[in-house]
Amino acid sequence: MNANTMLEVDTESFSKQEIIDIYEQHSPGIYRYAYRLLGDQNVAEDCVSETFSRLLDVVRRGGGPTDNVRAYLYRVAHNWITDYYRRKPLPELPLDIKEHVEPGSDPDNLVTDAMERDRVRTAILRLPPEQQQIIQLRFLENWSHDEVARLLKKTTDATRSMQYRALASLRRMLVDDQEKDN
C-alpha cells in the first residue's frame, strides 16, 4: 500500500497526514514481524498491506485505535498471520544463505547458522499463538513487558509468566530436536 492510496481517507478521527505518518512509522516493523513469523517476503508484504487496509476500513467507519496505534496494528497483523496459518499448513522455510553471504565467510558456518535459524523459527511456530507473539515482540521487536501486556490486554506479571513458559518450551523443543538428530 502506498501513500497515494491513503490520501482517499476521509475521517474525523485521523487526518490524511496522520494516516500517512502512521504507515511510514509502523509499516517497517509490521513487515519485520510478519516476515519472521511467515518466512516469505511476498506473504509478509500481503500481511502489511492487509493490516493497513483493515486500519483504513475501521477509520472510514469512524472507529480505530484510540490510545495505542502500534499495539492495534500488531494485533491486526498477528490475527492475519493466525488466520493465514489456519488456512495453510506450515511452510517449508528456505535457507536464505545466498542473501547473507559475506566475502571470506566460511560456507560451513553459513549452512550451520541458517539451519539453526530454521530450527528456532520452526520451534517458535510450534508455540501457542500468544507465546509466539510475546517472543517476537519482546526479543525481536524489543518491546517492553508493559507494551506487550497492553497489546495482549493482560497484566505485566502475566506476560512475564507467559514469556518464561514460552522460553522454557522453546528450550525443551530445541533440546529434544537436537537429541533426535543425534
* Residues 83 and 132 grouped into a single domain: no
Q: Is the pLDDT of residue 33 over 50?
A: yes
* Residues 36 and 71 grouped into a single domain: yes
* Residues 109 and 54 grouped into a single domain: no
Q: Check residue 104 and give its pLDDT.
A: 58
CATH of the domain at 173: 1.10.10.10
* Residues 120 and 75 grouped into a single domain: no
* Residues 120 and 83 grouped into a single domain: no
Residue 143 lies in a domain: yes
Q: How far is CA 28 from CA 34, 55, 74, in A?
A: 10, 16, 12
Q: How many domains does the chain have?
A: 2
**Among the listed residues 92, 15, 102, 11, the one whose alpha carbon sits nearest the alpha carbon of residue 58:** 11
**Residue 174 sits in which domain range?**
102-182
**Grid cell 496522520 — which residue?**
18
**C-alpha span between 112 and 50 (Å, rounded):** 35
**C-alpha span between 49 and 77 (Å, rounded):** 10
Residue 97 lies in a domain: no
**C-alpha span between 138 and 11 (Å, rounded):** 33
Last residue of a domain, one of 46, 73, 92: 92
Q: Check residue 11 and give its pLDDT.
A: 43
* Residues 74 and 12 grouped into a single domain: yes
One-letter amino acid of 97: I
Last residue of a domain, one of 68, 92, 116: 92
Q: Check residue 120 and give its pLDDT.
A: 82
pLDDT digits (tens, 9 = 90+) for 154-168: 999 999 999 999 999
pLDDT digits (tens, 9 = 90+) for 34-80: 988 888 899 999 999 999 999 988 888 888 787 788 989 999 998 89
* Residues 80 and 125 grouped into a single domain: no
Q: DSSP string covering 63-128, please?
A: ---SS-HHHHHHHHHHHHHHHHHHHSPPPPPP--TGGG--TT--HHHHHHHHHHHHHHHHHHHTS-
